[in-house]
Each structure stands twice: as C-alpha cells, then as structure tokens.
Amino acid sequence: MPQLPEDIIDRLNQMESRLKALSTAVNTRPALNQVASGQFTVLRTNTDQSTSPVLLMGGSDPKVTRPVIRIFDGYSHEIFADDILTGGLARPWLQMLPPMDQNQVRWPQTTSGTFTMIAQSFNPMWQPRMRLTMYTRASSGATGQVKVLVNGTQFGPTVTAGSTYDFTGALPGAIQTNFSKTVTVEIHAMATGGTVYAQPVMMHGMQT
C-alpha cells in the first residue's frame, strides 16, 4: 500500500481535531430554552410581511440591569409589563374599590323576614378563587343574617348581622370551562324586629 505524503496526513489530523472541537462545542452549548444575557424578542410576521414584537424579555437600554417582560397585542399595544424600578405589575392597571360610605343608613338593607337580595354585581371570571369582605349591621333591637351567592350557589358562611363577613374560597364551576364568563355575585339578607344592612368593602380574585 503506497504511503500518503506527510502533509496530507497532517491535514487529516488537523481535520480530525477540528471535528472533535466542533462536536464538543455543539454538545456543550447553552440550552435553547435559556437566555443567559441580552434581549429576547418574539416577533410576529404580519400579512404585509412586516414584523412586530409579541413578547420582549430583557432590557432594551444598556443602563437597565433588571429584566423587562413586555407582551404586545396584534396592534402593537403593550398589554402586559412589569415594573422594572420597584417590581410588581406596570400594566395593565387594575381596578381598585373606591372608599365606601360608612353610614349604614345608606347601605344596601332589608326588613324582610326571609332572605332577600339587597345587592348584586356582575364580574368576568379570571381566577379560580375570590376573596370578599363585607361589613354587616343591624338596627337597634333587630337581629338578622347575611350571606353571599355566586351564580346561585352560596359562597362562604352565613353570618350574623353585626359581624364582618370575610371569606376566601373557590368560585363555583371549573375555571377551565368558565374562564372569562360572567359570574353573578349577590348579597342576601334577612331581618327580625328591624333592619339589617350590608356593605362590601373588598372583593378580588386569587390564584389556587
């Protein structure tokens, strides 16, 4: 068998070394589900072949040292963002309950001897649980009870008028099938010998 020239053998050895180095680099590269540094952007291709961002992670300003999370809708509106200065949520702005009247005479009320609806609201179901806090009162010499119904199902305990209702629990129905559907929240009360009052002061959704 004829011998190969030494320069060809050297070249083959070099090629073998390069292939080994390349194989090692491929097997030791960072996982594709991790971003070690810099900015990660998911783009949408529009019908006119232009692109617009859907998800942005990481700061676009080199002075920003904290990560940024931004989500955009189909019209490039920022619909979700975190607050990079203090933490927490920047967008969307969430509704907060305004200060409520503390004069019980102007609260939802009843003199009925049987449970009667005295207040009602409609809300979309975004989370599987809810917390509701409510003040209850009874006029002088009166007694009574107050309860809450969600979609016709009692939510939490029945409380004696004069005590504070404060309950956190699962909303009726599975979140998988009821997500974004409207739920009806009602306050029912009954009174004996006078008037029973109720005033919700806090209500918000919660995670499981």
Higher model confidence: residue 23 or residue 42? Answer: 42
> What pLDDT does residue 57 have?
75
> What pLDDT does residue 83 have?
87
> What is the C-alpha separation between 25 and 184, in angstroms, rounded?
59
Higher model confidence: residue 149 or residue 175? Answer: 149
Higher model confidence: residue 29 or residue 105? Answer: 105
Q: Residue ranges of the domains in the chain?
A: 40-91, 104-206
- Residues 65-105: pLDDT tens digits? 566 788 888 888 888 988 888 889 889 998 888 999 999 99
Count H helices, E strands: the chain? 2, 14
pTM for this entry: 0.73
> What pLDDT does residue 68 have?
79
What kind of fold does domain 104-206 have according to CATH? Jelly Rolls (2.60.120)
pLDDT category at 133 given cuts 50, 70, 90 is very high
> What pLDDT does residue 34 have?
59
Sign, Cα dihedral of 152, 157, 163, 165: negative
Higher model confidence: residue 84 or residue 199? Answer: 199
- The beta strand positions in the chain, using DSSP E, are 40-45, 51-57, 69-72, 78-82, 89-91, 109-110, 116-124, 129-138, 143-150, 153-154, 159-160, 164-170, 182-192, 196-206
> What is the C-alpha separation between 11 and 39, in angstroms, rounded?
41
Q: Express as a percent the part of the chain with pLDDT over 90.
A: 54
> What pLDDT does residue 64 have?
58
3-state secondary structure of 171: coil
> What pLDDT does residue 153 have?
98
